[in-house]
A and B are shown apart, each in its own frame.
Chain A
Amino acid sequence: MPVLSPRDQALLQERFSRSLLKDITITLFTSRSAGLLLVPGRECPTCPQVQQVLEEVVSLSPKLRLEVVDFYVQAEEARRRRVDRIPCFTFSADDQPYDNIKFYGLPTGYEFTTLIEDILALSRGVSSLRPALREVVRQIDKEVHLQVFVTPT
């Protein structure tokens, strides 16, 4: 049973075909055993749902690709991309990784819109920020960590 309605799929397909420039890879860190075998402490009830949503999104454009990484089996890769819990996904645009942009958890409701906006912005290589904001943000010269807490709506 698809998560996206046929109408949403058609709208997104049209928007992607019109707007996507660079190829985008979404890398999902998950637990492949989730749902089949429950290892105590490694439960990830929403992992399969996140994967389904992302599979449906990437199926809507040849410029989108999903890469699935097992957080426990490929722990080194998770460490390298600074993923500390799952489900988590991050992006690359034309093979340039954007490890500093991550989602933790299921992107539904308003966050689904954020996901689509992220894909479009990364693919065109420019954020939605106005030029004045872009200029000052680029001048921040220290590490900053932002955590945005959301809930499904």
Chain B
Amino acid sequence: MAHAVAMENARIRADVVEAEEFPHLAQTYQVRAVPKTIIDGFAEVTGAVSPEMFVEKLLTVVGRFDLVGRLKALQEQERKGG
């Protein structure tokens, strides 16, 4: 999911980190369950979530509430369009 997002926007860096091979990093972010995604070193998404939920969280963390609204409008259109 993170890699798919990064593929669409070069400003987004996405690292998949094998926690057991990088224990110090995993410890820094208190990784106890996986997958766990850390956004900009502070926000987190734990567990496997839907792409929609992931993107909404991402938009919230970067402060683009306008895009959260835009996403909801687009999803509504998709629903109506079948």
Interface magnitude class on chain B: 35 or more
**Majority DSSP secondary structure for residues of A touching B:** mixed
For the residues of B in contact with A, the DSSP-based class is mixed
The stretch of A4-12, A51-59, A66-74, A98-106 that contacts the partner chain: A98-106
B21 with A147: CB separation less than 8 A: no
Q: How far is the CA of A43 from the CA of B9 in the complex (A)?
A: 34
A13-21, A22-30, A31-39, A137-145 - the one binding chain B: A137-145
Q: Contact check, A144 vs B40: say whether CB atoms are below 8 A apart.
A: yes
Q: Is the CB of B39 within 8 A of A121?
A: no
CA–CA, A146 to B6, complex, Å? 9
Cβ–Cβ contact A142 & B11, under 8 A: yes
Inter-subunit contact A137/B8 (CB<8 Å): yes
Do B17 and A148 touch (CB < 8 A)? yes
Q: Return the chain A residue nearest B24 by Cβ.
A: A85
Contact string, A82-103, partner B, CB cutoff 8 A, digits 1/0?
1001010000000000101111
Choose among A104, A117, A121, A140 the residue that contacts B67 (Cβ–Cβ < 8 A): A140
* A150 near B14: Cβ-Cβ < 8 Å: no
Min C-beta distance of A64 to chain B, whole Å: 17
Q: Classify chain A's interface size.
A: 35 or more
**Neighbouring B residues of A61 by C-beta, 8 Å:** none
Contact (Cβ within 8 A) A144 B12: yes
B15 with A102: CB separation less than 8 A: yes
Chain A's closest residue to B17 (CB) is A104
Segment 100-124 of A: residues with Cβ below 8 Å from B: 100-107, 111, 114, 117-118, 121-122
Q: Name A residues whose Cβ lies closer than 8 Å to a Cβ of B.
A: 46, 82, 85, 87, 98, 100-107, 111, 114, 117-118, 121-122, 127-152
- 18 A-B contact pairs sorted by A residue (CB < 8 Å): A98-B6, A100-B6, A100-B12, A100-B14, A130-B78, A132-B74, A134-B8, A136-B64, A137-B58, A140-B9, A140-B12, A140-B59, A140-B64, A146-B2, A146-B12, A148-B37, A150-B17, A152-B20
